Amino acid sequence: MTSNVIVDASDVIALLKRIEETHPNNTFETYAEIVDKVASLGYDNVPEHNMLNTLLVVLFGWYSVKVGPEWRDVPFLYREIIIQSILELEREQKIADYDIYISYLHDFIEWVAATDKKTSLVSLNYDNVLFESIKGLGFNHCFDYVPQAGNMDFFDYELFHRSEKVVYFPHGHSRFKRTNYDTIQYFENPRKAEESRWAGLRDNTPYSSLTLNNNNAFAYDFNSFITTGQTKDSSLNMAPYDAYYQRLSRDILDSEFVYVVGYSFGDEHINRLLHSYLYTNPLGRILIVDKTDGIINLANDIIKNKGIVRKLYDTFKPVVFFPKIADISSYESQGIWEINNYGYGQLVSRISFYRKGVLEFLKEYKDLSF
């Protein structure tokens, strides 16, 4: 590391502060996208290699943009900071009832899996909660030793597609490290994964931490061990995320019941699958578990673009939300009354909503009518 030139942190912070001043409501996804595009320019500034470089040359003049090759590591560092924060919370600042929460989640997953031959667990989080909750339940993450690659744990496509009980992570995970074998290496210990990622920084061997999707027409794609940013869809072409989304589409469309727990409905590639599920499967049902305060007024929340209800409306569209209702302005239902008064009920046809949060749901799910 000492022989490498790394961008001055003050340069990165100055850029982010300027962006924050211009758009104060940005999320970490937005910043990841900005960092990736700036680093793409520094990584390879040849105009004809991608559209971003061409635009900058034509519109602004090449030498007015002062971004050098040292920026190539910034996207990795940005993502590693996110993961380190998560690991730090897991190690030192676990909530008092963390072990109880894991126990509750374990029991819920065991209960769901017992009622169905096939069960898929899909997490969009980078933490280890789900891994800790499925111990002893027979779920397969489908990473196996590959002797040709030095017995490293690489993704097994065949095993993944034929397994009936799987767990997978379409947005990546703290246990992942990308390699030049064009796939993800898996580590049982997230600390070992972290150490290996740092050891492979700016390394051109097959164990490099920084590998790119070099076929991106607009700019380089720095998504690797976790995928983030507003245009992370391009990561879906890379292993194992391509298999993840292929199976995710099949799992959702073929399901009788889909539990959506703690999801913000902020990813269009996920929302499309959920919408298609209800649109094409007349028997499909969804239970959404979230934490929301205040009274839900379905029509008013939609019209005023307010809260979780509006997000659901935008996801599932009127054709699913109100297939036979011409005027939603005064719409109410027994289910919404039950949500407001008891914390659980049918929001609209085939969509139920639990509003008291994940922990309370894990305490009460056996008493609810699905």
pTM of the model: 0.87
Strands 152-155 and 165-168: unpaired
- What tokens were used for 172? 């990546």
CA distance 26 to 350: 33
CA distance 164 to 343: 33
Question: 173-196 burial, b if ≥16 CB within 10 A, otherwise e?
Answer: bbbbbbbbbebbbbbeebeebbeb
Question: 318-352 burial, b if ≥16 CB within 10 A, otherwise e?
Answer: eebbbeeeeeeeebeeebbebbeeebbbbbbebbb
CA distance 326 to 24: 38
Q: How many CB atoms lie within 10 A of CB 63?
A: 7
Residue with tokens 């990546």: 172
Report cis status (omega within 30 of 0) of the bond before 318. Answer: no
Strands 351-354 and 285-289: parallel
**Which residues are paired to 353 by β-bridges?**
288, 345
DSSP E strand stretches across the chain:
119-122, 143-146, 152-155, 165-168, 176-179, 183-186, 257-261, 285-289, 344-348, 351-354
Q: How many CB atoms lie within 10 A of CB 106?
A: 17
The tens place of each residue's pLDDT in the chain, 370 residues long, gives 344 557 788 888 888 898 888 888 888 888 888 888 888 888 888 888 888 888 888 887 765 667 788 888 888 888 999 898 888 877 665 666 788 889 999 999 999 999 888 999 999 999 999 999 999 999 999 998 665 555 567 889 999 999 999 999 999 999 998 877 777 889 989 989 988 888 877 656 666 777 676 666 788 888 888 988 877 777 777 889 999 999 999 999 999 999 999 998 988 889 999 999 988 888 999 999 999 988 888 878 888 888 888 888 888 877 666 666 666 666 667 888 899 999 999 988 889 999 999 999 999 999 998 7
